[in-house]
Structure 1
Amino acid sequence: MNDRHPHRRQFLAGLAASSVLASPAIAQSARPLEKAQLLLNWYLYGEHAPFFYGKKLGLFAAEGIDLDIMEGRGSAVTLQAVAAKSALFGYSDMSAVVRGAIRGAPVVSTGVLLQKNPASAMGFADKNIRTAADLKGKTVATTPGDALSQVWPAFLKKAGLTEADVKILAGDAQTKLNAVISGQADVLLGYSHDQSMKIKDATGKAVFPVMFADYGINSVATGIIAHRDTLSGNADLVRRFMKAATLSAEAAEKAPQAAAEAMLEADPKAGKKDTLTEGFTISAGLYRLSPDQRPFQTNAKAVADTVDILVEYGGVDAAAKGRVQSFFTTDFLPGRATN
Structure 2
Amino acid sequence: MKVFRIAALALALAAPALPAQSAESVNLILNWTPTADHSPFYYAKAQGWYEKAGIDLNIEVGKGSGVSSLKVGSGGSPFGIADLATMLVARSKGADVVALMSIYANTGQTFYWLKSYGVDGARTFPGHKIGNPPGDASRVMWPAFAKAAGIAPDAVSFVNVGPTAKIAALKSHTVDIISDFYNEHDLKVIEFGADLGFVNWKDIGLNPYGNSLIVNGAFLRKNPKLAEDFVRISQKAFAACVADVAPCLKALLDQVSGLDKENQERQWERIKFLMTDDFTTTRALGWIDAGRMRQDYDLVQTYLGMEKPFAVESAFSTELLDPSIRMDAGRVKK
TM normalised by structure 2 equals 0.75
- Asked whether the equivalents of residues 169 and 185 of structure 1 are also in contact (C-alpha less than 8 Å), the reply is no
Of 61, 67, 71, which residue of structure 1 is paired with 2:57? Answer: 67
SS of match in other structure, 2:105 = coil
1:158–1:225 distance in 2 versus 1, CA, 3 Å: closer
Of 223, 230, 243, which residue of structure 2 is paired with 1:234? Answer: 223
Question: Where in structure 1 are there 5+ consecutive unaligned residues?
Answer: 1-29
Counting matched residue pairs gives 299
Alignment of 1:98-109 (within 5 A): 98-109=88-99
Partner of 2:253: 264
Distance in 1 between the 2:315 and 2:46 partners? 31
The Cα shift of 1:273 comes to 0.9
Of 297, 315, 325, which residue of structure 2 is paired with 1:327? Answer: 315
Distance in 2 between the 1:33 and 1:147 partners? 33
The Cα shift of 1:245 comes to 0.4
Partner of 2:26: 36
The Cα shift of 1:44 comes to 1.6
Of 270, 290, 293, which residue of structure 2 is paired with 1:282? Answer: 270
1:255–1:205 distance in 2 versus 1, CA, 3 Å: farther
Distance in 2 between the 1:100 and 1:163 partners? 24
Distance in 2 between the 1:135 and 1:80 partners? 30
RMSD value, Cα: 3.5
The Cα shift of 1:79 comes to 2.8
Distance in 2 between the 1:137 and 1:78 partners? 32
Question: Where in structure 2 are there 5+ consecutive unaligned residues?
Answer: 1-19, 329-334
Distance in 1 between the 2:166 and 2:257 partners? 26
The Cα shift of 1:227 comes to 1.9
The Cα shift of 1:186 comes to 6.1
1:136–1:324 distance in 2 versus 1, CA, 3 Å: closer
Distance in 2 between the 1:77 and 1:87 partners? 11
Alignment of 1:183-194 (within 5 A): 187-194=177-184
The Cα shift of 1:298 comes to 0.3
Instruction: Report percent identity of matched pairs.
Output: 22
Partner of 2:289: 299
Distance in 2 between the 1:94 and 1:278 partners? 24
Distance in 1 between the 2:27 and 2:76 partners? 9
- Asked whether the equivalents of residues 94 and 222 of structure 1 are also in contact (C-alpha less than 8 Å), the reply is yes
Distance in 1 between the 2:193 and 2:312 partners? 41
Partner of 2:110: 120
Distance in 2 between the 1:188 and 1:247 partners? 34
The Cα shift of 1:101 comes to 1.9
**2:214 matched to 1:225?**
yes
**Runs of 4 or more consecutive aligned structure 1 residues displaced over 6 Å after TM superposition:** none
- Asked whether the equivalents of residues 104 and 212 of structure 2 are also in contact (C-alpha less than 8 Å), the reply is yes
Partner of 1:95: 85
* 1:3-36 residue CA offsets vs partner (Å, 9 max, x unmatched): xxxxxxxxxxxxxxxxxxxxxxxxxxx8654432
Q: Which is higher, the Rg of structure 1 or of structure 2? A: 2
SS of match in other structure, 1:296 = coil
- Asked whether the equivalents of residues 54 and 60 of structure 1 are also in contact (C-alpha less than 8 Å), the reply is yes
Distance in 2 between the 1:149 and 1:105 partners? 19
The Cα shift of 1:285 comes to 1.4
The Cα shift of 1:68 comes to 1.9
